[in-house]
């Protein structure tokens, strides 16, 4: 591990380490949960990780290791978490050879598959997940039901879990009398949002695969495999 010997605001240090967003970090500092050199920190305070002892809830932050950015083609049957108290397989089990501690950026439910990002960079995770950065997510969805009739309904605003949602775009790829395949692009990311939207339109989701985040495409990465993102891909997602 290396230290950059540069004084930075505590909020930035905490966000970069995946402790919290910068806004949440400010709240934690205000609540007295952050200390520097054993003294309760204040908003606006700077520190140097590796020189100053910075602790959150009594746990010291270590100098940050090299940033890691991973693309995984998540299969069904794996939960998107670091560990699971029910003993289910997690996406971390799919990362042999990755020595650094990384965590998922967002979620895909256990029955969904496709593009999942993992990192140890809090600022990168925030840039991908936070709605204000406008990173759309694109999904290929196989459904049962009158899909041709439902397409126009899927494009309309609707209420899901007390939130008004609307797809960025919906494209019907194939269909027959039993159902079809859709491409749905979202700018939001509510829990099981596509499944709930389809249900409201009379469709049942048979399979769901995320194929893109912003301009980053899953491409031909095999199911269950992973690779590091290129510098260009990381830069594009940070914009």
Alpha-carbon distance of 144 to 179, in angstroms, equals: 4
Residue range 103-133, pLDDT digits in tens: 899 999 999 999 999 998 888 998 998 877 8
In this chain, the answer to whether the domains covering 8-60 and 136-213 adopt an identical fold is no
Instruction: Read off the pLDDT of residues 42-85 as tens digits, 9 standing for 90 and up.
Output: 999 999 877 889 998 888 887 666 889 999 999 999 999 988 88
What's the rounded mean pLDDT across residues 206-223?
97
HEC assignment per residue over 96-131: CCCCCCCEEECCCCCCCEEEEEEECCHHHHHHHHCH
Q: Which CATH superfamily is domain 136-213 in?
A: Alpha-L RNA-binding motif (3.30.70.1560)
pLDDT at 1 over 50: no
Q: Indicate the domain borders of the chain.
A: 8-60, 69-132+216-238, 136-213
Mean of all residue pLDDT scores within the chain? 91
Q: Which residues are catalytic?
A: 109
C-alpha–C-alpha distance, residues 56 and 45, integer Å: 14
pLDDT grade, residue 189 (50/70/90)? confident
Burial label for 144, CB within 10 Å (0-12, 13-18, 19+), is middle
Q: Considering the domain 69-132+216-238 in this protein, what is its CATH number?
A: 3.30.70.580
- pLDDT confidence of residue 212: 98
Q: Which fold has domain 8-60?
A: 3.10.290
Q: Cβ distance 185 to 137 under 8 Å?
A: yes
pLDDT at 112: 97
The tokens of 37 are what?
A: 């050199």
């Amino acid at each position: 591990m290396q230290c950059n010997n540069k004084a930075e605001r505590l909020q930035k240090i905490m966000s970069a380490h995946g402790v919290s967003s910068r806004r949440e970090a400010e709240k934690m500092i205000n609540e007295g949960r952050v200390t520097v050199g054993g003294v309760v920190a204040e908003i606006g305070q700077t520190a140097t990780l590796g020189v100053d002892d910075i602790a959150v809830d009594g746990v010291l932050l270590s100098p940050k290791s090299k940033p890691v950015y991973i693309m995984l083609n998540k299969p069904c049957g794996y939960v998107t978490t670091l560990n699971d108290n029910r003993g289910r397989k997690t996406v971390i089990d799919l990362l042999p050879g990755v020595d650094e501690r990384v965590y998922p950026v967002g979620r895909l439910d256990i029955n969904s598959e496709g593009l999942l990002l993992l990192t140890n960079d809090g600022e990168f995770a925030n840039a991908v997940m936070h709605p204000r950065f406008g990173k759309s997510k694109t999904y290929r969805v196989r459904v049962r039901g009158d899909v041709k009739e439902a397409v126009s309904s899927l494009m309309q605003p609707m209420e899901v879990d007390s939130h008004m949602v609307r797809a960025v775009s919906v494209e019907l790829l194939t269909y027959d009398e039993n159902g079809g395949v859709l491409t749905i692009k979202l700018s939001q990311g509510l829990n099981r949002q596509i499944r709930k939207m389809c249900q409201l339109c009379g469709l049942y989701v048979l399979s769901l695969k995320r194929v893109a985040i912003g301009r980053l495409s899953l491409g031909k990465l095999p199911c269950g495999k992973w690779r590091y993102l290129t510098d260009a891909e990381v830069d594009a997602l940070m914009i």
